[in-house]
Structure 1
Amino acid sequence: MVPHLITALTGPINELEQRMLESMPAIERWFRLEWMEHTPPFYTSVDLRNAGFKLAPVDTNLFPGGFNNLTNEMLPLAVQASMAAIEKICPEAKNLLLIPEKHTRNTFYLANLARLVQIFTLTGLNVRLGTLDESIKEPTDIELPDGSKLTLEPLLRTQRRLGLKHFDPCTILLNNDLSAGIPKVLEDLHEQYLLPPLHAGWAVRRKSKHFELYEDVAKKFSKLLGMDPWLINPMHGECDEVDFQDGAGLECLQTQVDALLGKVRRKYKEYGINEKPFVVVKADNGTHGMGIMTVRDAKELADLNRRTRNKMSVVKDGQEVTQVIIQEGVPTYERMNEAVAEPVVYMIDRYVVGGFYRVHAERGIDENLNAPGSSFVPLAFAEPTQLPRPGVKPGASAPNRFYMYGVIARLAMLAASYELAVTDPNAEVYA
Structure 2
Amino acid sequence: MVPHLITALNGPINELEQRILESLPAIERWFRLEWMEHTPPFYTSVDVRNAGYKLAPVDTNLFPGGFNNLTSEMLPLAVQAAMAAIEKICPEAKNLLLIPEKHTRNSFYLANVARLMQVFHQAGLNVRLGTLDDTVTSPTTVDLPDGTSLTVEPLVRTRGRLGLKDFDPCTILLNNDLSAGIPKVLEGLHEQYLLPPLHAGWALRRKTNHFQAYEEVAKKFAKLLGMDPWLINPMFARCSAINFTTGEGEDELAAQAETLLAKIRRKHKEYGIPEKPFLIVKADAGTYGMGIMTVRDPKDLIDLNRKTRNKMSVIKDGQEVSEVILQEGVPTYERMNDAVAEPVVYMIDRYVVGGFYRVNAERGVDENLNSPGAVFAPLAFAESNQLPKPGVKPGASAPNRFYMYGVIARLAMLAASYELEATDPDAEVYE
| Counterpart position of 1:117 | 117
Q: Distance in 1 between matches of 2:78 and 2:381?
A: 17
Find the counterpart in structure 2 of residue 57 from structure 1. 57
- Write the distance in 1 (CA, Å) between the matches of 2:21 and 2:169: 43
**Are the aligned partners of 1:422 and 1:429 in contact in 2 as well (CA < 8 Å)?**
no
**Structure 1: distance between partners of 2:367 and 2:430:** 35
| 1:233 alignment partner in structure 2 | 233
Matched, 1:289 2:289: yes
Q: Does 1:354 align with 2:354?
A: yes
Aligned to 2:415, what secondary structure does the other structure show?
helix
The runs of at least 4 aligned residues of structure 1 exceeding 6 Å deviation read none
Aligned equivalent of 2:249: 249
Give the equivalent residue in structure 2 for 1:390.
390
**Structure 1 segments unaligned to the other structure (5+ residues):** none
Quote the residue 2:267 is aligned against: 267
Which residue of structure 2 lines up, in the alignment, with residue 342 of structure 1?
A: 342
The alpha-carbon deviation at position 389 of structure 1 amounts to 1.0
CA contact (8 A) 1:423 1:430 kept: no
* Superposition deviation, residue 393 in structure 1: 1.0
Give, in whole Å, the separation in 2 of the partners of 1:295 and 1:301.
Answer: 8
Name the CA shift for 1:366/1:229 in 2 (closer, same or farther; >3 Å): same
Correspondence for 1:146: 146
Q: Is the 8 A contact 1:422 1:430 kept in 2?
A: no
CA separation of 1:240 and 1:80: change in aligned 2, threshold 3 A: same
Shift in Å, 1:430: 8.0
CA–CA distance in structure 1, aligned partners of residues 205 and 101 of structure 2: 17
Q: Give the superposition deviation at 1:418.
A: 0.3
Residues 137 and 167 from structure 1, CA distance in 2 versus in 1: closer, same or farther, beyond 3 angstroms?
same
Distance in 2 separating the partners of 1:166 and 1:10:
61
CA distance in 2, matches of 1:382, 1:64: 22
The answer to whether the aligner puts 1:101 opposite 2:101 as a matched pair is yes
Three-state SS of the structure 2 residue aligned to 1:14 is helix
Hey, what's the Cα distance between the residues in 2 that align with 1:430 and 1:71?
46
Could you tell me which residue of structure 2 aligns to residue 369 of structure 1? 369
Rounded to whole Å, the distance in 2 between the matches of 1:206 and 1:9 is 36
Deviation at 1:416, TM superposition (A): 0.1
1:122–1:382 distance in 2 versus 1, CA, 3 Å: closer
Q: SS of the residue aligned with 1:52?
A: coil
- 2:280 is matched with 280
Q: TM-score, normalised by structure 1?
A: 0.99
* Number of residue pairs aligned between Structure 1 and Structure 2: 431
Aligned-residue identity in percent: 80
Q: Structure 2: which amino acid aligns with 1:355?
A: G
Q: What is the TM-score when the length of structure 2 is the normalising length?
A: 0.99
1:312 shift after superposition: 0.3
**One-letter code of the match for 2:348?**
I
Q: Deviations over 1:293-313 (max 9, x none)?
A: 000010111120000000000
Partner of 2:15: 15
Counterpart residue number, 1:321: 321
Determine whether 1:306 maps to 2:306: yes
User: Structure 2 stretches of 5 or more lacking a match?
Assistant: none
Number of the residue aligned with 1:201: 201
Structure 1 residue matching 2:129: 3-state secondary structure: strand
Counterpart of 1:345 in 2: which secondary structure? Answer: strand
- Residues 2, 54 of structure 1: alpha-carbon distance in 2 compared, 3 angstrom cutoff: farther
Q: Matched residue of 2:395: which SS?
A: coil
Q: For residue 213 of structure 1, what is the aligned residue in structure 2?
A: 213
Deviation string, structure 1 residues 303-349 (Cα, Å, up to 9, x no partner): 20000000000000000000000000000000000000000000000
Inter-partner Cα distance in structure 2 for 1:196 and 1:364? 34
Aligned counterparts of 1:429 and 1:412: Cα–Cα separation in 2: 25
Q: Distance in 1 between matches of 2:157 and 2:391?
A: 57
| 1:348-394 Cα deviation digits (max 9, x unpaired) | 00000000000000100000000011000001355333311111111
The 1-side partners of 2:266 and 2:253 are apart by 20
Question: C-alpha separation between the residues in 1 aligned to 2:347 and 2:58?
Answer: 16
Structure 1 residue 206: deviation in Å? 0.1
Question: Is the contact made by 1:208 and 1:284 (CA closer than 8 Å) also made in structure 2?
Answer: yes
